[in-house]
Homo-oligomer: A and B are copies of this chain.
Amino acid sequence: MTAALFQNRLSVINVGVSSFAHAIESHSTPVVDVDWSPPASGDAALGRSLALMINHPAIEAANKTAFERYLSAEPRVIDVLATRDAIADIGERTILHAGPPISWKDMCGPVKGAIVGAILYEGWASDAATAEALAASGDINFAPCHHYQAVGPMAGILSPSMPVWVVENADRGNRAYCSLNEGLGKVLRFGANSPDVLERLRWMKTVLAPILRKAVAALGGIDVKPLMAQALHMGDEVHNRNVASSGLLLKRLVPAMVESGLPSRDIADAARFIAGNDHFFLNVSMASCKAMMDAAHGVSGSSMVTAMSRNGVRFGIRLSGCGDQWFTADSPVIDGLYFPGYSMEDANPDLGDSTITETAGLGGFAMAAAPAIVQFVGGSPADAIANTQRMGNITLGQNNGLTLPTLNFQGTPAGIDARKVVDSGICPAINTGIAHREPGIGQIGAGITEAPLACFAAAVSALAESLDLHQSSPPAENS
């Protein structure tokens, strides 16, 4: 039998460990190599839970509800307010940060640097050393942005007087918030806190925010999803490429800015600031994605991921059906494209709430829309398309309001199903900027990374437990 087998020309399909395929290929035999790993990474208990959860009617129904709420969300910029005015229940001595909860002593360099900057900006201390002592004293309340329906890129710092975009989901009325984008270089979100950084923040509060506020009011608000949809047809994925969307936003704002009655010089400065910052839309995108994902959150039994977020130490996710719980793992360091003079050695682990865009089917999930982004994050345009297609394996569906031209106008894959991640071992692709691990140096690169599988495994376990799958239908031990 064996002899007969090897006398014939072989056609081989290799499943799993690809080194077997290489061995066969080296003997000039064609091999189709199937990229496969055991469900739940071979964790037997989790695998059993997963088997019960796949196609489970209650989870399917919950996911349908959650996904539809996401799809029908209509995020709309309705105002620009100080954080304390936007978020009524935030205390006067609260500073919000990116990612899951973390205490001062455990925070990474850029987050600590940005917090020192925020304390100086608020006037709670007059020098960095005093600010740092105050931060360590316990007199400041630190909390994740996500706990207040907010998100922030990189360090993600929000203090009471900082202005935020106020986005409302017209479909369900929930609101979300995000800071205004400061531009690149030395900026607070990368941990910089020098006088020029604080000066820019003060200008944003006293000049830029009032102009934006008046313009948004004059326009009666700005629908964000049509802007995102158009930007996807213009090479943005609205996470790390926002050049089209920032331009589209400026086009909407400018006539109203000019007619605001505010000083021409300030309006020119504001227009120049926005025009000179190709990431200006990022924070609008993030607040809008947060509003879309919060709409899908809190559906009992749903395995849909409603937040992915990093504090620079831990990567955390939330599931729609798991309430306020965070499921965390160590934040990865990114093997990306580094600016000259920097390498992975200098990099802070993955940081920021901006992965809310991937959670909403944008960013890494919509890379097929943005072939030019590979010049920034690495890879080829074909890789960008492959990333989007791979995400189709772990999502609940497509968002046909956000279509991708290079994939024949297919909707972007959206609604990450934690079950599918654990079952396939395919992790969400994330386009991200890379911060230096020391505060104040800023961005040192960008790249493509993945959400850690362990977050999804923990989340699926917790959801399984909450659903009491084992009690209702105990699996036979030897099945």
Task: Please list the residues of chain A having a beta carbon within 8 angstroms of any beta carbon in chain B.
Answer: 230, 233-236, 243-244, 247-248, 250-252, 254-256, 258-259, 264-265, 267-269, 271-272, 275, 371-372, 374-375, 380-381, 405-406, 408-409
Contacts and interface: CB of A to CB of B under 8 A. Distances in A.
A272 B255 contact: yes
B243 A271 contact: no
Contacts of A259: 264-265, 268
Given A233-B372, A235-B233, A275 B254 contact: yes
Contacts of A405: 235, 371-372, 374, 381
A374 B230 CA distance: 14
Nearest to A250: B251
Copies of this chain held together in the complex? 2
B271 A254 contact: yes
B255 A275 contact: yes
Contacts of A233: 235, 372
11 contacts: A233-B235, A235-B244, A247-B248, A254-B275, A255-B268, A256-B268, A258-B268, A258-B271, A371-B406, A381-B406, A406-B406
A244 B255 CA distance: 18
A383 to B, nearest CB: 11
Contact of A243 (B234, B375, B409): B234
A381 B409 CA distance: 9
A248 to B, nearest CB: 6
A446 to B, nearest CB: 16
Q: Tell me which of A252, A259, A374 has the highest count of chain B C-beta atoms within 10 A of its own C-beta.
A: A259
A148 B375 CA distance: 41
Contacts of A371: 405-406
Contact of A247 (B247, B374, B381): B247
A235 B409 CA distance: 14
Contact of A258 (B247, B258, B380): B258
Nearest to A272: B255
A409 B251 CA distance: 28
A264 B254 contact: no
A271 B271 CA distance: 12
- List of 7 A-B pairs having minimum Cβ-Cβ separation, nearest first: A247-B247, A371-B405, A233-B372, A251-B275, A258-B268, A255-B272, A372-B405
Contacts of A268: 255-256, 258-259
Given A230-B243, A234-B243, 12 more contacts: A235-B405, A247-B248, A247-B250, A251-B275, A254-B254, A259-B265, A264-B264, A374-B405, A375-B409, A380-B408, A381-B405, A381-B406
Nearest to A275: B251
Nearest to A370: B405
Contacts of A258: 258, 264, 267-268, 271
A371 B233 CA distance: 8
Contacts of A374: 405
Nearest to A382: B408
Contacts of A408: 380-381
Contacts of A265: 259
A267 B406 CA distance: 38
Contacts of A236: 234
